[in-house]
Amino acid sequence: MSSSIGSIHELYHSLEIKDERPYVIRVIEDIKKRSLSYHTYQGLVLIVTFLSYATYHVTRKTSSIVKSALDPQTPTSPSLDLKSYPWQKNYLNLSNGNVTLLGANNGGWEPFNGSDGTAMLGYLDVAFLAVYAGGMFFSGHLGDRMNLRVFLTIGMIGTGFFTALFGMGYWFNIHNFYYYLIVQMLAGVFQSTGWPSVVAIVGNWFGKGGRGLIMGIWNAHTSVGNITGSLVASALLKYGWGWSMFVPGLMIGFFGLVVFFMLPVSPLSVGMHMGDEETDSPKKGFLAEPFMPLEAIAEHETLEEEKAVGFIEAWKIPGVANYALCLFFAKLVAYTFLYWLPFYISYTEIGGEYLSSETAGNLSTFFDLGGVVGGILAGFVSDKLDARAITAASFTYFTIPALYMYRSYGFINVYMNIGLMFIAGMFVNGPYALITTAVSADLGTHKSLKGNSRALATVTAIIDGTGSIGAAIGPLLTGYFSAISWDAVFTMLMTAALIAGLLLTKLVIDEIRAKIDGYRSPRGSRADVLV
């Protein structure tokens, strides 16, 4: 026994394994003189990554709330409630029973309060998302080659800095469009580090079994972040729109430090391996005998020899292209709502009156609440059916009638608007959440990789990066189509949902065939159809 332990120690020294535990975990384990259990690590990973990505969406959502303060265009309507637009009371002409603006300066923020203000805000959105989408591909490539904890920390602090810098334009009285454009683009670069990193980290700690439900619940961070961003930005708007950007910037910066000091990126980084159920390992120094089993040493040697999967190789993984193109259209729909829903609510007569920007921002959170339910439901159903493609396609098809109902009947009253908005959010965000989490993690560990685990961030970046191109195009087109009519916008969104579903047709057929073959074969196991 002693000789075997001695040989283990020799292997440890020859491998020169570094102590990569985050500082807070290192202190806790050194004080306790024993390692944390595997399940404790899993819980910590879920909580920290949840809060991490939620703050990314807090900063992303604020711009949609600030829109109405930068460009408070007033709808032409005899039923306009002036109390809903207190900042515009000095700029209105009520002659002939109609409401019109007096002059170019309508109480907003130059240069966004002119006649082309809405288009300029659209340019900010598309610039941010275009850089975000392009940066996503590079971020995934870097993420598979760097310490993800450090990489994610840099991304969060950088995002916070540039989000706050955008808001500081309010106090510095900056009215140059290119200042806000450049700041938004730089924020997009740092934002692109988030998604590949958190999905790769969660994928490192959780196997495929039950991944859909776990990641469906975990993916609620997107909606929680959107809701928090809406509430925080709306509440601060009355103190000046700069606060609505500055405070969320501080929030993500703070949680970036939490990530650096607390987030374990993989089981191996803390001396464990996937599935280690040891809960009471004595701590005799990092990588003591019970802390890393002998088989994990062999695993570590294999990992050391692995090379990160290349960009082109990742595209060739079966199913990656299908889901990436599907997400292009699914995210086009989702991000149009993310960036334009509060604006749409503000300038749509609901129950015979127009709502204030603060009320519209708060009301838009019901779309995200529906998204929470949709993400969990899609993950649960896909696990039960063992059919990711069928689940994702079904949700995208149901999105079409949900959008039609919201546009056609959402104006009747506030309660009807909330109910239909919730349903639309459920079907819009369901497939989006499923594809960007469980599907990406499944594809990043596909059997064609022959056990190579260094593809998660790259595959995630390809899928979400392609989707983010659609996310950039959707808000841009909305800026133009909304000038024609909102009916045109919703027609665009329903068409995009239809195309998203059709792009999964081949994978849906493959899953159906696999199910049929499984039923015909009494001894057959579940088919490994890639989702």
- State yes or no: pLDDT of 456 exceeds 80: no
Q: What share of the chain is helix, strand, coil (3-state, %, to 5)?
A: 75, 0, 25
Q: Which two tokens stand for residue 503?
A: 């792009």
Mean pLDDT of the chain: 78
Query: What is the pLDDT at residue 211?
Result: 64
Question: Confidence band (pLDDT; 50, 70, 90) for 241?
Answer: very high
Q: Which residues of 487-520 are buried (b: 16+ CB within 10 A; e: fewer)?
A: eebbebbbebbebbbebbeebbebbeebbeeeee
Which of 162-171, 263-272, 284-293 shows the lowest per-residue confidence on average (mean pLDDT)?
284-293
Query: Among candidates 230, 226, 271, 237, which has minimal Cα distance to 21?
Result: 271
- State yes or no: pLDDT of 240 exceeds 80: yes
Q: How far apart are CA 453 and CA 203, in angstroms?
A: 10
Give the range with max mean pLDDT: 173-177, 292-296, 341-345, 433-437: 173-177
- State yes or no: pLDDT of 506 exceeds 80: yes
**What count of Cα atoms within 13 Å lies in the side-chain half-sphere of residue 429?**
30
Question: Confidence band (pLDDT; 50, 70, 90) for 527?
Answer: very low
Query: What is the pLDDT at residue 308?
Result: 54
Q: How far apart are CA 497 and CA 397, in angstroms?
A: 7
Helix (H/G/I), strand (E/B), else coil: 100: strand
Q: Which residues of 290-319 are buried (b: 16+ CB within 10 A; e: fewer)?
A: ebbbeebbebbeebeeeebbeeeebeebeb
Q: Which domains does the chain have, with CATH numbers?
A: 36-75+111-272 (1.20.1250.20), 307-514 (1.20.1250.20)
Average pLDDT over residues 447-471: 70
Query: What is the pLDDT at residue 521?
Result: 65
The H or E element containing residue 340 is: helix 320-346
Q: Which two tokens stand for residue 162?
A: 């540039």
Q: Which amino acid is at 92?
A: L
Tell me: the pLDDT tens digits for 432-454? 888 877 787 777 655 554 444 45
Average pLDDT over residues 329-345: 88
Q: How far apart are CA 363 and CA 354, in angstroms?
A: 13
Query: What is the pLDDT at residue 84?
Result: 37
- State yes or no: pLDDT of 3 exceeds 60: no
Query: What is the pLDDT at residue 147?
Result: 86
Taken as a whole, the chain contains a residue count of 531
- State yes or no: pLDDT of 310 exceeds 70: no
Question: Confidence band (pLDDT; 50, 70, 90) for 455?
Answer: low
**What count of Cα atoms within 13 Å lies in the side-chain half-sphere of residue 487?**
4
Vertex 238 angle, CA 236 and 244, to 5° = 30
Question: Confidence band (pLDDT; 50, 70, 90) for 61?
Answer: confident
Q: How far apart are CA 91 and CA 107, in angstroms?
A: 7
Q: How far apart are CA 236 and CA 154, in angstroms?
A: 27
Of the two residues 283 and 443, the one the predictor is more confident about is 443
Assess contact for 230 and 361: CB atoms under 8 A.
yes
Which of 17-26, 178-187, 262-271, 447-456 shows the lowest per-residue confidence on average (mean pLDDT)?
447-456
Instruction: Tell me the percentage of the chain whose pLDDT exceeds 70.
Output: 76
- State yes or no: pLDDT of 49 exceeds 70: yes
Query: What is the pLDDT at residue 414?
Result: 92
Query: What is the pLDDT at residue 522?
Result: 55
Question: Confidence band (pLDDT; 50, 70, 90) for 90?
Answer: very low
Q: How far apart are CA 387 and CA 529, in angstroms?
A: 8
Residue 103 φ/ψ region, left for φ over 0, alpha for ψ in the -120 to 50 degree band, beta for the rest: left
Kindly give the residue spans of alpha helices, DSSP state H, lying in 110-193: 117-143, 148-171, 177-191
- State yes or no: pLDDT of 293 exceeds 70: no
- State yes or no: pLDDT of 476 exceeds 90: no
Average pLDDT over residues 33-50: 91
Cα dist from 370 to 220, 351, 387, 423, 473, whole Å: 10, 22, 22, 6, 24
Question: Confidence band (pLDDT; 50, 70, 90) for 384?
Answer: confident
Which of 12-21, 39-48, 129-138 shows the lowest per-residue confidence on average (mean pLDDT)?
12-21
Burial label, 468 (beta-carbon count in 10 A; 0-12, 13-18, 19+): buried
Query: What is the pLDDT at residue 264?
Result: 93
Query: What is the pLDDT at residue 403?
Result: 96
Q: Which two tokens stand for residue 345?
A: 């609510």
Q: How far apart are CA 113 and CA 116, in angstroms?
A: 8
Q: Which two tokens stand for residue 210?
A: 């039950």
Of the two residues 312 and 54, the one the predictor is more confident about is 54
Vertex 91 angle, CA 90 and 97, to 5° = 105
Of the two residues 199 and 229, the one the predictor is more confident about is 229
Tell me: the pLDDT tens digits for 119-155? 788 788 888 988 988 888 787 777 767 888 999 999 9
Of the two residues 15 and 58, the one the predictor is more confident about is 58
Query: What is the pLDDT at residue 315?
Result: 78
pTM, full prediction: 0.70
Query: What is the pLDDT at residue 247?
Result: 96
Q: Which two tokens stand for residue 34?
A: 């024993």
Q: Which two tokens stand for residue 237?
A: 């708007």
Q: Which residues of 106-118 are buried (b: 16+ CB within 10 A; e: fewer)?
A: bbbbebbbeeebb
Which of 99-108, 173-182, 247-256, 334-343 shows the lowest per-residue confidence on average (mean pLDDT)?
99-108
Q: Which two tokens stand for residue 19?
A: 């102590």
